[in-house]
Amino acid sequence: MRVTDRSEVGSASSRAPEDWMSINWRLVQKNVRVLQHRLAKATQEGNWRRVKALQRMLTRSFSAKALAVKRVTENQGKRTAGVDRELWDTPQQKFAAIARLKKHRYRPLPLRRVRIPKSNGKERPLGIPTMRDRAMQALHLLALDPVLESVSDPNSYGFRKNRCTADAMAQIFVKMSRKVSAVWVLDADIEGFFDNLNHQWLVHHVCMDKSILRKWLKSGVVDRGQLVATTAGTPQGGIASPALANWALNGLETGLIKHLDAKWGPTNAKKLKVGVIRYADDFVVTGASQELLETEIRSWVDAFLAERGLRLSAAKTRIVHIDQGFDFLGWHFRKYSEKLLIKPSQKNVRTFYDKVKKVIGDHLMVKQEDLIRLLNPMLRGWAHYHSPVVAKETFSRLEWLIQWRLWRWAKRRHPKKSADWIRRKYWQPVGDRKWVFAATVKIADGSKSTVELYSLSSTPIERHRKVKGDYHPYDQQWEMYGETLRQERMLNKMRYRTEWAKLYVDQRGLCALCGHEMDMDTGWHDHHIEYRMEGGSDALGNRVLLHPTCHVRVHNLDLKVVKPAFV
């Protein structure tokens, strides 16, 4: 891959960059990645003195600081300010922010309390840090994450690279699908997890700068105009919060297995069929008998959580038989005649339908094509989430309900028109389907195009390929595996955009400018090598995928991007 310059401005050099647009992000990513590999290796070797030295080196480096500022100015919260109402919108502000990420005299400001509604009618309190505090958290997370990945439980899937809820679902299937598998489950729920985490335990055990961590935990919260001290817990909404949560619960799986091995011996312990599957603070424990889970397992889990200032919810924690079934991460797991079936949970389906119903009800007078564009991302995202499980029946039933809602939406707009007239206006044949909620719209060149509602029932059901439990994203031995896994999952998410998928495969999932990986978090832009206003075509040979910031850089510096050499 190579980049040529259309002007006299160089895209990168070995000297220190003078502004935000001249930063060589490929070199920045490489510098950070090298130190993270070294951190992972030192952690695996148990050389904690070297771990501390490498973390200090990384958090003081220009590359890590630049990457931290890049993260907080490109994510979804980039336009959400903290208590100081400060945002980093311009390249000048972003570049100046790099120099502000220093430990010396650093004092985080209080969090801004924001409350968002939960599905059960209650509110979830979020703590919004300032931009500077977010960047400091992102900076230290770069040094903490390789260590955390090295000590994490094999079947912990929340907020970790290349791991997702479907991996947790697949692991439950592995542990409970066979006839000889465990049949009892401890369906656990931690009471007020983020509000009750013990600060002293976190400061003593989390492998990062203790003074910085203590300041974050004790920064306080501004709630309804009042400053409230934080004596326990870690705020939801902070960049570092998921990592701290994972660190607090690490050892739940390995520690329990070690305890059982010590008490009964490794051979006898395997007969107990104990397994822990965790996603963030939600987890289940499988076991061979109800008595084992009630007496031995639950008491050990209670002691494990109490050390961290936590406890299980008496109302929500229960021990169930697999024939009775249980809900986890939006799915319902239950055996029918010795066969384990995983379906969308009734609660998840009901919540999603209420959301769709509200969108339709709130947009009674919009154009049909605008309503379709509002609904399609919701329908496609929800269907994709449930596509690895037994969901065809649910998809068909929910699609019928949504069509009924759309019929009411259309009838309300034309109360004096006949049903046949309404059907012809809003529904039309598309392909082999007779009646599809679709609109015909004119595009820029004067031709017509059809915008149709996404069909839930046409979503293919495909089994999810689970990530290996030992996978380590910062270990070079797993580099090829991680790259292949990431590309497969990105292609699965892109399958409705075939042209993007083709470009993504051709570029091996890497940005055509900086050469660093692209995923759903980084996003991507479709860039024309020869600009369309200069006569460039829409053919795939004239297009590449770039990171959003790399795309801005190409246009601001007037750079010429060519096809990567491996295409």
Cα–Cα nearest to 543, from 487, 517, 514, 504: 504
What pLDDT is recorded for position 325? Answer: 96
Q: Kindly state the tokens that stand for 278.
A: 């965790």
Give the 3-state secondary structure of residue 433: strand
Q: Which single residue is written with the structure tokens 């600081």?
A: 65
The model's pLDDT over 314-328, given as tens digits with 9 standing for 90+, comes to: 999 999 999 999 999
* DSSP conformation class of 312: B
The answer to whether 19 and 557 are in contact (CB under 8 A) is no
What is the rounded CA–CA span in Å between residue 511 and residue 109?
36
The answer to whether 181 and 102 are in contact (CB under 8 A) is no
What is the rounded CA–CA span in Å between residue 210 and residue 38?
21
The answer to whether 157 and 100 are in contact (CB under 8 A) is no
Other Cβ atoms closer than 10 A to 434: 9
What pLDDT is recorded for position 6? Answer: 31
Q: Which single residue is written with the structure tokens 């380590």?
A: 472
Residues present in the chain in total: 567
* DSSP conformation class of 560: E
What is the chain's Cα-based Rg? 26
Cα–Cα nearest to 316, from 192, 202, 168: 192
Task: Provide the phi-psi class of 510: left if phi over 0, else alpha when psi is between -120 and 50, else beta.
Answer: beta
Task: Give residue 515's identity as a one-letter amino acid code.
Answer: G
> Would you write out the chain's pLDDT as a tens digit for each of its 567 residues?
333 333 222 333 346 788 898 898 889 989 999 999 999 999 999 999 999 999 999 999 999 999 999 999 988 888 889 999 999 999 999 999 999 999 999 999 999 988 877 766 677 778 899 999 999 999 999 999 999 999 999 999 999 999 999 999 999 999 999 999 999 999 999 998 988 999 999 999 999 999 999 999 999 999 888 898 888 888 777 899 999 999 999 999 999 999 999 999 998 889 999 999 999 999 999 999 999 999 999 999 999 999 999 999 999 999 999 999 999 999 999 999 999 999 999 999 999 999 999 999 999 999 999 999 999 999 999 999 999 999 999 999 999 999 999 999 999 999 999 999 999 999 998 888 888 999 988 876 667 888 999 999 999 999 999 999 999 999 989 988 988 888 888 877 776 677 777 888 888 888 888 888 887 777 788 888 887 666 677 778 888 898 887 888 888 777 778 777 544
Task: Give residue 426's identity as a one-letter amino acid code.
Answer: Y
The residues with which 232 forms a beta bridge, in sequence order, are none
For CA atoms 228, 231, 233, 239, the dihedral sign is positive
Backbone angles phi, psi at 404, to 5 degrees: -65, -40
Cα–Cα nearest to 112, from 127, 97, 92, 90: 127
What is the rounded CA–CA span in Å between residue 266 and residue 289?
18
Q: In what order do the strands lie in the sheet with 433-442?
A: 427-430, 433-442, 448-452
* Distances 543 to 34, 503, 557 between C-alpha atoms, Å: 31, 8, 18
Secondary-structure breakdown of the chain: helix, strand, coil percentages, each rounded to the nearest 5: 45, 15, 35
The answer to whether 522 and 547 are in contact (CB under 8 A) is yes
- Give the rounded distance of the alpha carbon of 81 from its chain centre: 22
CB neighbour list of residue 321: distance below 8 Å, 6 or more residues apart: 183, 184, 185, 290
Residue 440 parent element (H or E): strand 433-442
Task: Give residue 295's identity as a one-letter amino acid code.
Answer: T
Q: Which single residue is written with the structure tokens 């969308």?
A: 344
**Is the CATH number of domain 476-557 3.40.640.10?**
no
Q: CA 304, 305, 310: angle at the middle one, nearest 5? A: 165
The model's pLDDT over 415-471, given as tens digits with 9 standing for 90+, comes to: 999 999 999 999 998 888 888 999 988 876 667 888 999 999 999 999 999 999 999
What is the rounded CA–CA span in Å between residue 95 and residue 73?
11
Cα–Cα nearest to 32, from 52, 51, 13, 59: 59
Domain residues of the chain, as ranges? Answer: 346-452, 476-557
What pLDDT is recorded for position 527? Answer: 87
Burial of 362 (0-12, 13-18, 19+ CB in 10 A): exposed
What is the rounded CA–CA span in Å between residue 2 and residue 565?
8
Q: Which single residue is written with the structure tokens 């699965």?
A: 492
The answer to whether 68 and 136 are in contact (CB under 8 A) is yes
Task: Give residue 72's identity as a one-letter amino acid code.
Answer: V
Q: In what order do the strands lie in the sheet with 275-279?
A: 275-279, 282-287, 184-189, 318-321
* Distances 202 to 48, 128, 190, 260, 281 between C-alpha atoms, Å: 17, 20, 17, 26, 15
CB burial string 240-264: b at 16+ within 10 A, e below? bbbbbbbbbbbbbbbebbebbeeee
The answer to whether 235 and 222 are in contact (CB under 8 A) is no
